[in-house]
Structure 1
Amino acid sequence: MDLLVDHHCHGVVRRELDRAEFEARLSEADRPAPGTTLFDSALGDALRRHCFPVLDLLATADPDDYLARRAELGHEEVTGRLLRAAGLAAVLVDTGFLPEPLTTPAELAAAAGATAHEVVRLESVAEELEVGTATGFAGAVHEALAAAAARPDTVAFKSVAAYRVGLALGDERPSEAEVREAAGRWLADGAGRLADEVLHRFLAFAALDTGLPLQFHTGLGDRDTDLRLGDPLLLAPWLRAAESTEVPVLLLHCYPYHRNAAYLAQVFPAVHMDLGLATHNVGARAPGVLAEALELCPYGKFLYSSDGYALPELHFLGAVLFRAAADADLIPRTTENAHRVYPTVGGRGPGR
């Protein structure tokens, strides 16, 4: 089996989950509608077919039996089984979203038998700064990003501008005065959740200055996002402005705008894409969605990711559904592409 580089994912929970907690983490919905279950969906069908057997159950078993088997084995055993079955060489872990304690990149990689790398979220860097004045904000950001980039495990930065302000970022670097004014507004409001177009644009350009690849969340997300503003085509003016840096830009997830992302990957030399969490969400339709993305996206610009979060089932499903959807030549190609974009990413995990 060709090993995959999962170039964007998250940690998994460190505790047992009841059915309601499990379903709340299964998809982008935070809960099923009354009288329904998220097991009754394309994702649920994929879970039954692929995950149930990994825990020694038939695909026809009841979801409650699956949750009972999960509890019987314990979350560490379940995590190990599913992540090892995913067949991963490396995991690039976004550590910027921790609503509850999740496994660290090293812990996730150890469970998968893979190598660990970190993707640093730009907004988290800004929100964690201890800066008292707007005047010192820009300098503090540059210092913090440089320090993060210098850590040996850091391989990329990530922007969640799509969630906060949308992807219609301006095509010019904000001036010092513009950054200072925007930072002043943010600090005056308590410096909580950063959601200002000028500051997101500043962070994105500042990330390019480090030379590390920059990932952008696009398309599909939870109910907090305005999906209309996550169309990667909105990012085109910013991409033109960033093109001279030649820093790789990775468009994550992309669905339902995957054809738009494929166009950008075709016409911008530094732009790459994946399907991320769309792969497991669409279940058996993954081959069709992948085919649509590859209508325009050059094969050398397509990477694999699961965007698995909280549940190891999602890391596993991303991998197994991608393998079922992809041409045999594309699977090793995505690993080659990842190594080209992220030169320091290890090729094989320990013990493989």
Structure 2
Amino acid sequence: MTAADLTPLDDLPLLDHHVHGALTTDLARPEMESALTESDRPVPGWMTQFDSQLGLAVRRWCAPVLDLPAHVAPEEYLRRRSELTAAEVTGRLLRASGIATWLVDTGIAGPGVLSPAEMAAASGARAWEVVRLEAVLEQLAREGFSAAELPARFPEVLAERTASAAGLKSVVAYRSGFDFEPNRPSDSEVVAAAERWLRAGGGRVVDPVLLRFLLWAGVDRGLPLQLHTGHGDPDLRLHRCDPLLLTEFIELVEPTGTELVLLHCYPFHRNAGHLAQVYPHVFFDVGLAINHTGLRSDSVVAESLELAPFAKVLFSTDAYGPAELHHLGAVLWRRAMRRTLAPWVEDGVCSAEDALRVASMIGRDNARRLYGC
């Protein structure tokens, strides 16, 4: 059995269970370079992000979608990109990804960022929203509320805001890390924290009591709750984003029946696999890491399949910005799955049918069952 025998995987319609909107604006080279890294610092003039795993992948797999030869020089790639309209570039790359369903985290929104409906229109696919808890509270603060009414009012607002949503998302990893007190805060604690926050002008929610309140409000809402885990931009402290730090919170959530989804997880994806194995309500993916590890993503994907039941692993791109990231998230995942599963078949560990079934579970079916879409 060779990798070529798993070619049906190339045509599998994928469900990207965690993604952000693609950009509709043209990108100059500095903006494109910045999009190829999680760093928020300027790219030094003596280097280029095209000399990275992600940069190589753009030149290898995105160039042909724009009618260029693979491995074209960055200058030629960017020239061709600017010749086409931004809408044309975005549409080509999204459609070429083979992603049939997007679950779009709208916590990063604004001018030039496609909404879920616009993602669906640009790609010819379906799309649902994933609502970010922190964004709902921050919007509520802009609209005005008293601290005393928060414990009762927020769940009502959240229910209204998520009436047609597929899931919820929290960025507590960025705001405080996972080494927080896991128990549900009391109403009096929430009111006192809200008073401090509102007196300071509201804004970005970083108070640990309010963050815990949001998490438990999300648990009570009952939709799958996604948690960014592991690698991200410098706003987080990586050593505080190991999902093992969530163990007590995970156990407290278990009786509620709410599913928890650990996003991305790198370099803690083996730890996430442990949690997904031992707790029935925990799922995970390695989404963000796939693009940034590029040609090495096959190792990350293979490691994600070492311990967890295959029914607990999901596919995502976590792409945000240029549609190259959305396209590559799918291309590299398919490549990694072929390179992982083909040796299993060759060694007689499973049949080709089993291998394709596992790929279908992770690429689409598990998320369908989890999110009901």
User: TM range, normalised to the smaller chain?
Assistant: over 0.9
Out of 263, 268, 272, the residue aligned to residue 261 of structure 1 is 272
Alignment of 1:18-29 (within 5 A): 18-29=28-39
Q: Does 1:147 align with 2:160?
A: yes
Rounded Cα–Cα distance in structure 2 between residues aligned with 1:99 and 1:67: 24
Runs of at least 5 residues in structure 1 that lack an aligned partner in the other structure: 346-352
Among the aligned pairs, what percent are the same residue? Answer: 50
Partners of 1:232 and 1:257 within 8 A in 2: yes
Deviation for aligned residue 1:174 = 0.5
Structure 2 equivalent of residue 329 of structure 1: 357
**Do the aligned partners of 1:215 and 1:250 also contact (CA within 8 Å) in 2?**
yes
Aligned length: 342
The Cα of 1:189 is off from its aligned counterpart by 1.0
Give the 3-state SS of the residue equivalent to 2:169 in structure 1. strand
C-alpha contact 1:87 1:112 (8 A) present in aligned 2: no
Residue in structure 2 matched with residue 10 of structure 1 by the alignment: 20
Helix, strand or coil at the partner of 2:177: coil
Aligned to 2:241: 230
What is the CA distance between 1:296 and its match in structure 2?
1.1
Q: Can you list the C-alpha shifts for 1:157-215, whole angstroms capped at 9, x where unaligned?
A: 10000000001232311011111111111111111100011111111111111111100
Q: Please state if 1:340 is matched with 2:369.
A: yes
Q: Is the 8 A contact 2:56 2:71 kept in 1?
A: no
Quote the offset at 1:108 in angstroms: 0.8
1:131/1:140 contact within 8 Å kept = no
Could you tell me how far apart the structure 2 residues matched to 1:239 and 1:318 are?
Answer: 28
Q: 1:291 Cα deviation (Å)?
A: 1.2
Greater helix proportion: 2
SS of residue in 1 equivalent to 2:280: coil
Q: Secondary structure of the residue that 1:128 maps to in structure 2?
A: helix
Match of residue 259, structure 2, among 248, 253, 269: 248
* Structure 1 position 100, deviation (Å): 4.5
Q: Distance in 2 between matches of 1:243 and 1:131?
A: 34
Q: Report the TM-score, using the length of structure 1 for normalisation.
A: 0.95
Report the equivalent of 2:66.
55
- Distance in 2 (CA, whole Å) between partners of 1:37 and 1:317 is 19
Q: Tell whether the 8 Å contact from 1:4 to 1:331 is kept in structure 2 after alignment.
A: no
Q: Does 1:37 align with 2:48?
A: yes
- Distance (whole Å) between structure 2 residues aligned to residue 29 and residue 52 of structure 1: 24
| 3-state SS of 2:287 partner | coil
Mean Cα deviation higher: 307-316 or 26-35: 26-35
TM-score, with length taken from structure 2: 0.89
Correspondences of 1:1-352 after superposition (within 5 Å): 1-30=11-40, 31-98=42-109, 100-129=111-140, 130-150=143-163, 152=164, 154-326=165-337, 327=341, 328-334=356-362, 335-343=364-372, 345=373
Do the aligned partners of 1:119 and 1:158 also contact (CA within 8 Å) in 2? yes
2:166 partner SS:
strand
Higher alpha-carbon Rg: 2
User: What is the CA–CA distance in structure 2 between the aligned matches of 1:217 and 1:99, rounded to whole Å?
Assistant: 21
2:296 & 2:314 partners in 1: Cα distance? Answer: 19
Measured in 1, the distance between the counterparts of 2:200 and 2:112 equals: 27
Letter matched to residue 369 of structure 2: R
Encode CA deviations 1:140-159: one digit per residue, 9 max, x unaligned. Answer: 21111111222x2x110100
Q: Is the 8 A contact 1:12 1:310 kept in 2?
A: yes
Q: Secondary structure at the match of 1:250?
A: strand
CA displacement at 1:43 relative to structure 2? 1.0
Conserved in 1, the CA contact under 8 Å of 2:57 and 2:294?
yes
Q: CA deviation at 1:73?
A: 1.1
Deviations 1:326-348 (A, max 9, x none): 133332112110011011x1xxx
Instruction: Give the 3-state SS of the residue equivalent to 1:269 in structure 2.
Output: coil
RMSD over aligned CA atoms reads 1.2
Aligned counterparts of 2:121 and 2:233: Cα–Cα separation in 1: 28
Q: Secondary structure at the match of 1:91?
A: strand
Deviations 1:87-125 (A, max 9, x none): 012000000113653011111122222111000000000
Local SS of the residue matching 2:307: coil
Contact 2:25 2:112 in 1 (8 A): no
